[in-house]
Amino acid sequence: MTVKNPLGLHARPATMIAKLLQGTKSSVCFTYKKETINARSIMSILVLAAGQNAQLLITVDGEDAEFVLKKLLDAFDTQFGE
């Protein structure tokens, strides 16, 4: 997935991702520049320092994986409402 926000994955999108994943059962990981993090952690997302146009690999595994992936892709496509 490409990060489209002009400011990249800063605090606001990181918080939105963590909230979006609340109540879901799948494990979600982001990989950027050979570093893989748990996408439920706001701090971990911020540590990735993924700027605009960064290419992330999103890995979702679990019983609601398809639903969770769709929600994440929609959020990235709409630039987290920014």
Q: What domains can be seen in the chain, in order of their start residue?
A: 11-81 (3.30.1340.10)
Q: Which amino acid is at 57?
A: L
Q: What string of pLDDT tens digits covers the 82 residues of the chain?
A: 999 999 999 999 999 999 999 999 999 999 999 999 999 999 999 999 999 999 999 999 999 999 999 999 999 999 988 7
From 1, 4, 8, 10, the catalytic residue:
10
Q: Is residue 10 annotated as a catalytic residue, yes or no?
A: yes
pTM greater than 0.85: yes
Residue-wise burial string across 38-77, b where 16 or more C-beta atoms lie within 10 A, e elsewhere = ebbebebbbebebeeebebeeebeeeebeebbebbeebbe
Chain centre distance of CA 54:
12
How many angstroms separate the most distant Cα atoms in the chain?
33
Any alpha helices (H) in 3-53, and if so which ranges? 11-21, 42-48
